[in-house]
Structure 1
Amino acid sequence: MAREGRCPIWGLGSGLCSYKIITLIVCSLNIVIALSCLRSLYSSPYIYSNKDYGVVKHTPDHIRKMEKSVRIRRANEPIELVKLVNQLKPELWGGGSMPSAELPQAVKNKITEEILQRLRNLRPNATASEEQEAVQTWRREKLKEAKMLADGGKGLNSTLVQEEAGNLVKVLESDWAALSEEIGLWIPTAIENREHNDKPEGVEDTEDVEQILAGRPLPPECNLEIHTDYDGECVQWGLSNPQESAADCCQACLDQAKSAKPDQKKCNIWVYCPSESGCYSPDTYQHKHMECWLKYSEKPSLNFKDRYSEEYRNSHSNVPLIVPWVSGVIRV
């Protein structure tokens, strides 16, 4: 029988086997197991969903295209024109400084929600004129509200605070166009010829949409759709393919389809950004004015159409009210 405090195991015979040695051995085993688990954890490949986590792995080809896009934009930047405009700014504003009213993002979000609610309250098939009138009515009411609050109005039931009201008055009066662009409010101006029929005889009534797009009119085969973003396999990278107009973008698609080699996809979808402030997209790129994406799809499907849904806007930041892209599917 072993004496108390001695442990005749592991070949130690009658040697000392104190509890400290046993504890040390157990701790060492625990450390080895822990290190093995950590090594296994860090060596395992993690694949995160781009939709859920916003992680995007750029391929070398994407990186090269992005670098090429940056070089093209820098080369086309009108540096001399920008300098000239900066010199003329004091004269254009009467020797004073330009208005620099800035609104907090929270106020912009309130404005977006209020305008969106006005548009929701319209009938389902509301015309562009009715949408414009609804927005302008909101603007007049909000401007009156902001002026009363800025002048010290008390007891006024308003979603604004007095400090914000002053800046909002300036924006609604002089910077409304810039604010509309920033929040993505782009509604085509309806042009009617009821009062003055100035169209030549034999010319049928057509959509006035093309009149809000810069450049020449689009041919019928382009099948223009405003506020539309089509999905598809990219045959021409848009970041490095700026076009002067939607018509030029469509023509680029037609030309690519004609000149494509037998083993290449032929363009049948064109997607163009007509907004000078750029166009929103859920990817990681910053999409600029005049971007032209050429795509192919056997069965074209939509990414977005008309307005972004409330559910989508709630789950994504900086989403405008209305889809800024214009697109077309070329039927063969």
Structure 2
Amino acid sequence: MVRGLAPAAALRGRAAAAAARWCTCRRVAVALCLGNLVAALLVARALYAPGTFASAPKRGEARYSREQMRWVEESIRIRRAAEPAELIEAVEKLRRAFVREEKRRKELPLELKQKVSHEILQRLRDLGENRNTTEQREAVESWRVEKLKYIRSSSTQNLSNFGLSGEESRMLKRALDFNWRMLLEDIGLWIPPTVHHIEHDDKPENEQEEEEIVPGPPLPPECNAELHTDYGGTAVRWGLTHHKESAADCCQACIDQAKRAKPGALKCNIWVYCPSEYGCYSPDKYEHKHQECWLKQADHPKLNFKDRYSEPYRDSHPTAPVVVPWMSGVISA
């Protein structure tokens, strides 16, 4: 009996020891879980607490002091104050005006544009070729006024006889009245504006004019040389193929030709010379170069141009300079 009880006691001892070890591991695991839970709660509180993101900058970001933040706010305020508010507002008004204009403008039919273009060109042809830009502009404007008056005073039947429907007449009236410049651009008509030459004389009143120097030897009194002058007459010798080194030589050539002329032949009594290195302007089709010497004859010499070309002349001849480049003279007997 003693031998049978001993193993049983040994088994119960081992079971109690195992139970004690299991209880100890359970306590340790529970303690570790509770510790981890507490640590997680603390971390979550630290992350989601108010002001955490504002007070804790991200990695790599710089923190600014209150003084630096004040400087930033002040720079933003100055930049906003310096914005051209009036200019921005004016540009916005223009943009709205252009949008309204585009909405209001209706494209004219191609046939109607061609008809308008044909009538304006016919009016310019009737005006003539040798007309300046001012007269051409006035002719086109008179056509516009007449056409507007006709559309306003005509009945629907008259307009239909003219080839215009009611809608087309309204569109044409709107184009002539409000979109005239746009219509001219659409039909490709452009007339250059009139250029007014205004010269300012800022010299003192008592200052004497500087005498213009003529290259070459002095001219004898019988040449009667006149600067910036162009006399007309019948050509005895064409200057296109007759060049002289100086105005004095040109005048002498005129005198010599008159002496050598045969009875009944034209005798030179007018000389015209181009002293400018850049050539001299003339309304004809030729290019007149430096040192051209024209020998002419006229019983009653008349001036072509003197001193300056007039404004109306320059309007109709855009390439004409302000000052007459030629010099000439009438040989005294």
**TM-score, structure 1 as length reference:** 0.40
**TM-score, structure 2 as length reference:** 0.40
Which is higher, the Rg of structure 1 or of structure 2?
A: 2
Q: Indicate the structure with greater helix content.
A: 2
